[in-house]
Structure 1
Amino acid sequence: MRKILIPLLSVVILSSCGSANISETTKKTDVSNSSSLKNNKAFNSSYQQIKVEDLKKNLTVIASDEMEGRDTGSPGQKKAGEYMINFYKDLGISYPKQLGSYYQKVPASFMKQRGGWNLPDSENILAFIEGTEKPEEIIVISAHYDHVGSKNGVVYNGADDDGSGTVAVMQIAKAFQAAKKAGNGPKRSILFLHVTGEEHGLFGSEYYADHPVFPLANTVANLNIDMIGRDDPENRGKNYVYVIGSEMLSSELKVINEQANKATNNLELNYKYDDPKDPDRLYYRSDHYNFAKNNIPVAFFFDGIHEDYHKPTDDVDKIDFSLLQKRTQLVFATAWELANRKHRIVVDKK
């Protein structure tokens, strides 16, 4: 997650409400489906694909010294990207056809114009599963795969920030692909978006929003994962996750996420930072913001600021893999609902 607060250019006016306002028709048809997840064999079979051992295997590579801290455009980041692409290839998950590869180039010139003065060209990485019934409607699941590189010869591995989100997206993709192979592919399309340049200014997600592979008007929601492998001092030892932004643009997204949570691991959903006016301004500090400012409903999943944030001690051996698994499963369950419900969620807030 970006450490320095970004300037709020062209900020949309947002508000947070304490209760959802959903029509009776929606309640009866769509939201009630969340509580039936427990009895959904297709969902449960796919859900079980999100395993601790797979998360640990992939994170051990992504956050290794070999990746040199994954600074934007660096050789180490490119190695991490190649590992991720090979993961998708092995699963049989391709890229958006119109893109022509897994890569969306983010030019140095674009980043320089926004304050990334000395950054080289870099790439977003996109994997894609086409929907079976409403392929033109897109659910975006995102995480940034860059970190801050090395300083004075010391590698900052970024296991939590955002290695944890990176491997979570990969495992969610594996779960959806398992459903597809079993004949239960998502009704809406799923874009697995690994963005670059987050630490320097949310550059990769801004580039995607400015140059979308799929029209933003067709993007139903963005579920963004940035740091979900640890706990913060305030919540030490708890089964929790911070959720930010889930009701700021849609009265339905928060309800869907909460219902999915109750049907799965029943984590404590903490809304401490769920306010644009919060002094930490976390709503503006990760990649979901570039979707939200384009009026796309978002939910940002986050574990808080812990003692190893942006330090060389953010290593794999400090990750709580059981908690990482549970949070990843929650995002998958929420995405499953968004992808398979009858109606596209409403955008009814400003």
Structure 2
Amino acid sequence: MKKFLIPIFSVIILTSCGSSIHLSDKQNSNQNTSSSNSKSDKAFNKAYQQIKYNDLKKNLYVIASDEMEGRDTGSQGQKKAGEYIVKFYKDLGIEFPEKLGSYYQKVPSSYMKKRGGGNLPDSENILAFIEGSEKPEEIIVVSAHYDHIGTKNGVVYNGADDDGSGTVAVMQIAKAFQKAKKKGNGPKRSILFLHVTGEEHGLFGSEYYSDNPVFPLANTVADLNIDMIGRDDIANRGKNYVYVIGSEMLSSELKIITEAANKKTNNLELNYKYDDPKDPDRLYYRSDHYNFAKHGIPVAFFFDGIHEDYHKETDDVEKIDFNLLQKRTQLVFATAWELANRKERIVVDKK
């Protein structure tokens, strides 16, 4: 996650303006939820079971290994991590967006330099895509940044939690949707699995995507952003919880859907501390979801808190709580499943 430095444009905005997911009977009255028949229940359950502890662990031990050299933006180590991610999608048969022509969206050095990125080299966002069966033009984005802060004085900052955990979560969610698709139960809306670069230096990759979207932003239904979900912070030590940030900032429906998904899966404690506009950390503005939110796209940011190894060389895989990582990944998947399969897209009813 990006260090606590609110960009100037954020300040300006602040001052100027297990089972399938079914909502309550009252909420069901608008007929916007996915089908409750046994076929859809089975489809969800089989896909949900693809969020596996051992798969998350296997991939994170690669993504956050010393070989990746801390994955600094545009570095050879980050490119190695990117190659691993792309191979993962190729092996599953998950394609890239046809319009893009590959899995890579180049983020030029010149673009980042103009935004305070110093002399960062060219880098790349990675995009994988599953087309929807009924409403392919409507896009659900599941995002995470795959960069970290590199190597300092010969010490590798592996970034296992930040944001190796989010990176492997997105990969596993993609696998679950792809398995469902192969069984004839693909999502009704399209899903873009977006791994962005340059987050640590200034949210550059997600900003570049929002400035140069592969799919029209008007057709983007929501962004579920995952940035650090493999640890716990001191305030929540030992709890089954996750911070959910921004889920009702633009759409009251998104928070309802997330809570229903949570209740029907692992029933984590959902902590909304960082939604408080008076919170000094201002986390709503500090990860990649914000570059969707500023365009009026509903977002939910899943986060485990600022722990003692944040941005330190000690953020290693050995400290990851894989049980919690699995549960939180399952929650994001269940939320994405509902967003992708409900009758109507969620509405923006807040500003």
With normalisation by structure 2, the TM-score equals: 0.94
Residues 254 and 36 of structure 1: CA distance in aligned 2, closer, same or farther (over 3 Å) = farther
Cross-structure match for 1:18: none
Cross-structure match for 2:197: 196
Residues 32 and 210 of structure 1: CA distance in aligned 2, closer, same or farther (over 3 Å) = closer
Query: d(CA) in 1 for partners of 2:195 and 2:186?
Result: 21
Cross-structure match for 1:175: 176
Cross-structure match for 2:141: 140
SS class of match (2:149) = coil
SS class of match (1:273) = helix
Report the RMSD for the aligned CA atoms in angstroms: 2.0
Cross-structure match for 2:115: 114
Shift of residue 276, structure 1, vs aligned partner: 3.7
Shift of residue 251, structure 1, vs aligned partner: 1.1
Query: d(CA) in 1 for partners of 2:256 and 2:275?
Result: 14
Shift of residue 33, structure 1, vs aligned partner: 4.9
Q: Which residue identity is paired with 1:72?
A: T
SS class of match (2:281) = coil
Shift of residue 5, structure 1, vs aligned partner: 1.4
Query: d(CA) in 2 for partners of 1:181 and 1:276?
Result: 43
Residues 255 and 8 of structure 1: CA distance in aligned 2, closer, same or farther (over 3 Å) = farther
Cross-structure match for 1:5: 5
Check conservation: 2:4, 2:281, Cα contact below 8 A: no
Shift of residue 4, structure 1, vs aligned partner: 3.2
Query: Where do 1:1-350 residues align within 5 Å?
Result: 1-9=1-9, 12=13, 27-30=28-31, 33=34, 40-350=41-351
Percent sequence identity is 82
SS class of match (1:252) = helix
Structure 2: state its 5+ residue gaps: 17-22
Check conservation: 1:35, 1:260, Cα contact below 8 A: no
SS class of match (2:95) = coil
SS class of match (1:9) = helix
Residues 326 and 161 of structure 1: CA distance in aligned 2, closer, same or farther (over 3 Å) = same
Superposed CA deviations along residues 188-231 of structure 1, whole A, max 9, x for unmatched, are 00000000000000000000000000000000000000000000
SS class of match (2:29) = helix
SS class of match (2:166) = helix
Check conservation: 1:187, 1:340, Cα contact below 8 A: yes
Query: d(CA) in 2 for partners of 1:78 and 1:62?
Result: 11
Query: d(CA) in 2 for partners of 1:6 and 1:30?
Result: 40
Check conservation: 2:188, 2:341, Cα contact below 8 A: yes
Query: d(CA) in 2 for partners of 1:37 and 1:14?
Result: 49
* Equivalent residues, number: 343
Check conservation: 1:34, 1:263, Cα contact below 8 A: no
Check conservation: 2:163, 2:227, Cα contact below 8 A: yes
Runs of 4+ in 1 over 2 A off after TM superposition: 10-15, 24-27, 29-39
Query: d(CA) in 2 for partners of 1:168 and 1:342?
Result: 26
Cross-structure match for 2:19: none
Query: d(CA) in 2 for partners of 1:120 and 1:75?
Result: 10
Check conservation: 1:34, 1:337, Cα contact below 8 A: no
Check conservation: 1:108, 1:122, Cα contact below 8 A: yes
Residues 38 and 332 of structure 1: CA distance in aligned 2, closer, same or farther (over 3 Å) = farther
Q: Which residue identity is paired with 2:133?
A: T
Shift of residue 25, structure 1, vs aligned partner: 8.3
Check conservation: 2:230, 2:322, Cα contact below 8 A: yes
Q: Which residue identity is paired with 1:247?
A: E
Superposed CA deviations along residues 235-271 of structure 1, whole A, max 9, x for unmatched, are 0000000000000000100000000000000000000
More displaced, 275-284 or 45-54?
Answer: 275-284
Q: Which residue identity is paired with 2:345?
A: R
Q: Which residue identity is paired with 1:137?
A: E
Query: d(CA) in 2 for partners of 1:126 and 1:209?
Result: 13
Query: d(CA) in 2 for partners of 1:52 and 1:13?
Result: 40
Query: d(CA) in 1 for partners of 2:317 and 2:91?
Result: 24
Shift of residue 34, structure 1, vs aligned partner: 9.3
SS class of match (1:128) = strand
Query: d(CA) in 1 for partners of 2:308 and 2:152?
Result: 18
